Amino acid sequence: MPARAALRPIVRAGPPRIKAALNAYSFSKLLNDAAKGRDSAMTLMKLIDFCALHGFDGLDATGYFFPGYPAAPADDYVNEFKRRAFESGIDISGTGVRNHLTTADREVRAASVAHICQWVEVAARLGAPVLRVFADTQMKSQTWQTVAPGVSRDDVERWIADDLRTCAEHGEKYGVIVGVQNHGDFLQTGVEHLRLIARVDSPWCGPIVDTGYYKTDDPYADIAAVAPYAVNWQVKESPVAPSSEVRTDLTRLLTIVRQAGYRGYLPIETLSAAGQRYDPFVVVPEFLAELRAAITATESVRPLATIEEQSGQPVNAPANSAVTDRAEPLRTRKPSNRNKRNSPSRR
């Protein structure tokens, strides 16, 4: 594998087309209760109905909430889930798993690769085009440095890329893209995100842009850098943290999305914050209304590059550059979003 790989934006025909989706994690507590056999006001089946009632186009059906996770769900459950979604007019826009690829423990990494590959097959059965995975540490109270003590960032990136490449090869067999979500640990910047994807060097592995987990002074610049390569999204209420009063500027975000020429789903994910009331039955419809307003407000925005320009201009994402380096799309930076006027009264 060369130290430097050329990463090209995804070439999409036609004008940007945005479809609103819901990430199931917005109902995390209720869905966990249901998955564990406790009484709950929400199950994955009921979540399909919720999406239909509120006019979502798709549902990102996170794997954690399927019965028996981390094991694969039974065929009859998958088939019933697909039938119900079809009859409700709801697309399965993706699914996702937990995994541990930053650790120096090879057995743990191998188990994660096997788990991802198993759920690639589940995603194919569901008809989900993208399986969401993490390059960031998902172990409680740990970081990539603590689970790989004394190991250089480049070496950790190398083994993550090697593992993701194996998963992407399996994804190709089943027609499922492995989407790598930034989650604020190993991947804190757009450059780090793109550099890892370039090192994987597979058309079956791409970035999922989590708008709330670029840990920089201007996360919108990082979002803009990665947007031309995005295979899916996670749109958060705040670009800073769930507890922050700084709200995501959705018009600015949708402008970036459209300028990148994106066509596909924008799943929203609302989150609870410690010490604050959180009712997804209220929060999710409110945030969906905000997203729809931004989609409408940016309808006239067109891609910055034509198809010919996209296909002819690869971006080099160096595997060994410093964390503070910036890729080409980050040259045009905007001020940080410090506007707190839209902070919700419930927060």
pLDDT recorded at residue 47: 98
pLDDT (tens digit, 9 = 90+) per residue, 188-236? 999 999 999 999 999 999 999 999 999 999 999 999 999 999 999 999 9
pLDDT recorded at residue 1: 41
pLDDT at 5 over 80: no
Cis peptide before 70 (omega within 30 of 0): yes
pLDDT (tens digit, 9 = 90+) per residue, 94-136? 999 999 999 999 999 999 999 999 999 999 999 999 999 999 9
Closest alpha carbon to 180 in 206, 162, 143: 206
Angle, helix 219-226 to helix 190-200, in steps of 10 degrees:
20
Tell me the H-state helices in the chain: 28-35, 44-53, 75-88, 106-126, 144-147, 153-174, 190-200, 219-226, 250-259, 280-297, 307-312
pLDDT at 267 over 90: yes
Report the relative pairing of strands 4-7 and 315-318 from DSSP bridges.
antiparallel
pTM (predicted TM-score): 0.88
pLDDT (tens digit, 9 = 90+) per residue, 22-61? 999 999 999 999 988 888 999 999 999 999 999 999 999 9
Which class for 158: exposed (0-12), middle (13-18), buried (19 or more C-beta within 10 A)? middle
How far apart, in whole angstroms, are the C-alpha atoms of residue 330 and residue 225?
A: 6
φ, ψ at 317 (rounded to 5°): -115, 95
